[in-house]
Amino acid sequence: MDTNKNSYTIIYSIVMVVIVAAVLAFVSLSLKDKQNENISNEKQQYLLASVGLGADANFAEVIKEAVVVDGNGKVVNTATSDIAKSEAFNISTSEQTALIKNGAPKEELRLPVFIADLPDGSKAYIFSAYGAGLWGPIWGWVSLKTDLSTIAGVKFDHSGETPGLGAEIATPKFAGQFTGKEMFNNGEFTSIAIVKGGAKEGSTNEVDAISGGTITSKALDASIRMWMEAYLPYIKSLQALAATPMPIEGEVVETTDNIQTN
């Protein structure tokens, strides 16, 4: 072939483009599994952090159960092994956020919940949150003790908030304010208020907003409230179950079947 012809240049360019594309596709596929593994490991560490545990904790020994609930509080999927491969673990919270905001039917929602067995023998329920910050998505996890009101811990992160300002939501100092705060007051849902200027002394449901990060603070406040409201039917069902007295062994529970009329 005459290398001076335009046709040669065109064919050569096409061949090179095909070769480069093939190489890039191969590299991308080769790295995809590793990338997915890294994403999974990071999420596992975030879930552990939300209950106050560090990187030395074993995810499989702490998170032994995960459920998916709909907006009515109905459990639609349960996993008790391979949690990192479960439906709950792999739900897109960004997609669920869009459904919640758009008022999708409650039965269409798929909300993940993770149940943690903590080193002190207690349990914690981990709930997701997701929203839009100043420069990009913000997300996190809020864990509640078995009373389903007291916060056991939180973990938040972001994709592009301003360093030293909105990005402070990812710091232990900010997250530490939430521990021990209450989602309910006398049985009424209050959520957690992230307050500009500082939480009132003695408040059970307020934390300090980030200085200079007002928009991010408001966005996180709204995201937590929106997601916890979506979880409310499930949370209230657990609270009701916990409030139901367990029958004493050997005790006859009176029902309409064992009541005789004279």
Per-residue pLDDT of 229-257, as tens digits, reads: 999 999 999 999 888 776 665 655 454 44
d(CA 11, CA 68): 54
Evaluate if residue 262 carries a pLDDT over 50.
no
Q: Which pLDDT does position 261 carry in this prediction? A: 42
pLDDT confidence bin for 21, thresholds 50/70/90:
confident
What's the predicted TM-score (pTM) here? 0.83
* DSSP H stretches of helix in the chain: 6-49, 59-62, 93-101, 172-176, 214-243
- 118/143 Cα distance (integer angstroms): 12
Q: Is the pLDDT of residue 27 over 80?
A: no
Q: Two tokens at 14? A: 């096409």
Segment 213-218 shows an average pLDDT of 96
Domain boundaries, given as residue ranges, for the chain = 45-243
Of 239 and 7, the structure prediction assigns the larger pLDDT to 239
Lowest mean pLDDT among 77-86, 184-193, 239-248: 239-248
